[in-house]
Amino acid sequence: MSFILPDLETSRLILKVPTLKDAPSLQKHVNNWEVVQGFLATFPWPYPDDGALSFIQDVVIPNQGKTRWCWGIFLKSNPEELIGIIELTDFKEKSWNRGFWISQEFWNQGYMSEAILPVNRYAFEVLKFDKLVFGSAVKNPASSKLKEKTGGKFLRVQAGSHLNPEWNESEVWELTKDDWLKNFSQL
């Protein structure tokens, strides 16, 4: 029996499970050093020609609803092209449990702020997480600003291993369910 993850919608976005047909657009948008240099060093780089297909087929599909809840980010104005990913994971798989990226051509337009809110709601109200812990490379201030804007509280800096070897420190952030309910659940 497969797990059905609901589509989530915002005013400009549809968040839906990536499928094999989304592999070409995923491949196109994630295969960019500016996008991935802050990813954990375990991310395959240079990105293989079948990287997106393998990710969807071998990581997303078999783990969906078990250890991972993954949504592709799609513009309502172009619902066939995946432009990013936002996902939740449990702590057994990673040291933090919410991650995201969006194609460089869509940076600084508010899309990721928009995508984070329904995913946080799903984490707290459906999955019953008590908190979300998330991180980013210290040298990625845009990601830190986004975490703060959406309720995250900075916890610490720790050693990190990112694709860009010069980015060797990670920030760790946390958003508790209580803080979410108090400040964001009505949005």
Q: How confident is the model at residue 3 (pLDDT cuts 50, 70, 90)?
A: low
Residue pair 85/101 in contact (Cβ under 8 Å)? The answer is: yes
- % of the chain surpassing 90 pLDDT: 84
CA distance 24 to 16: 16
Token pair recorded at residue 93: 């798989």
- Which range among 1-10, 69-78, 80-89, 162-171 shows the weakest confidence by mean pLDDT? 1-10
CA distance 60 to 7: 15
Residue pair 136/170 in contact (Cβ under 8 Å)? The answer is: yes
Q: What is the reported pLDDT for 1? A: 38
Could you tell me which residue, 78 or 4, shows the higher pLDDT? 78
Q: How confident is the model at residue 184 (pLDDT cuts 50, 70, 90)?
A: confident
> C-alpha angle 36/38/39, rounded to 5°?
65
Q: Classify domain 8-183 by CATH number.
A: 3.40.630.30
Q: Which residues contact 62 (CB under 8 A, 6 or more apart)?
A: none
pTM over 0.85: yes
Is 177 exposed, middle or buried, given 0-12, 13-18 or 19+ CB atoms closer than 10 A? middle
Q: What is the pLDDT of residues 22-64, one digit of tens each?
A: 999 999 999 999 999 999 899 999 999 999 999 999 999 999 9
Q: What are the extents of the domains in the chain?
A: 8-183
Q: What is the reported pLDDT for 182? A: 87
Q: What is the pLDDT of residues 115-124, one digit of tens each?
A: 999 999 999 9
Q: What is the reported pLDDT for 26? A: 98
